[in-house]
Amino acid sequence: MPDQCSRETADPPDGEKSPIIGEARKIIHMDMDAFFAAVEQRDNPPLRGQPVIVGGDPSGRGVVATCSYEARRFGIRSAMTAARARSLCPQAIFVRPRMDAYREASRQVMAILRSVTPWVEPLSLDEAFLDVTETTAAGVFAVQIAKEIRARIEQETGLTASAGVSYNKLLAKLASDWRKPNGIYVIPPEHGLPFLAPLPVGKLHGIGPATVEKLASMQIHTVLDLRNVPREALITQFGKAGIWFYEISRGIDRRPVQPSRQRKSVGYERTFPENLGDRNIMLATLHQMAWQVSARLHALGLAGRTVAIKARFSDFHTVTRAYTGE
């Protein structure tokens, strides 16, 4: 392995941001494959090759936290009720989450990433951005760094990861999904616009189901459709978010990789394409969202004192409740 991938690195100063903006950046998005389920299959060999679902009790109000790729072939996905998952795949093996095991595996993975560069921004226990611009200045290609990271992860943890390599966060994250599982995909600057053009607008960061619906009413379905809308028209329709939509449709993402951020809160929101009316589904969804927040807190090494829940109804009336511990 080249020295660029194994040398000791110094932590960046608190709050300092990755120094390079624009197409000169080299960004990697590392995403572990079916992380919780993969840890269960690694630690319990009889589970390998089986449809494994990590989550709650399928006979109660449990929810799917994640599942193996064998289970995904049956249409099972995260946030689905465990009862629904069992109906889709009666032979599925349900296991309860073991957060200590997942945190330890995440610690090993993040240590590998930080041995390559100090510019590592964890997003959760199982994914992170790396800015390897400075590392590539010595002549090694970003794609080679990504390959070596993936090899180290598999060798040292027994788990696999997928990687996306590009010139900003938006495209690197999209790229990491392109060859899942256990793959790598590169989007160089000259391929950014062609890659984005045919994608549904819902694939873009910051565009949720409600915005997809509004864009569809404007006959905007693909990123190319969005790219053809004048900037002023997007601002008129979406306010400041319109500027973001205008830029990301053109492959512009100025967000830096931030190794250290002073966070005041960690949250997770979902907008549903249809109103939820089933209490059990609501509770199961809330449970899954709580798992997402918990995993992100663990990845960032943080803890909180106040827990808040916000619900927005179809008429946009919003209710918020919060509890602060001692």
What gap in Å lies between CA 49 and CA 93, rounded to an integer?
11
At 271, list the tokens.
């907008």
Is 190 a known active-site residue? Answer: no
Assess contact for 165 and 172: CB atoms under 8 A.
yes
C-alpha count within 13 angstroms, C-beta hemisphere, residue 290: 13
> Among residues 16, 127, 213, 232, which one is catalytic?
127
Q: Which residue type occupies 318?
A: T
Contacts of 45 (CB under 8 A, 6+ apart): none
What gap in Å lies between CA 48 and CA 68, rounded to an integer?
9
Which 3 state secondary structure label does DSSP give 312?
strand
At 278, list the tokens.
């089933």
Which 3 state secondary structure label does DSSP give 56?
coil
CA distances from 299 to 103, 108, 195 (A): 8, 12, 31
By annotation, the residues acting in catalysis are 127
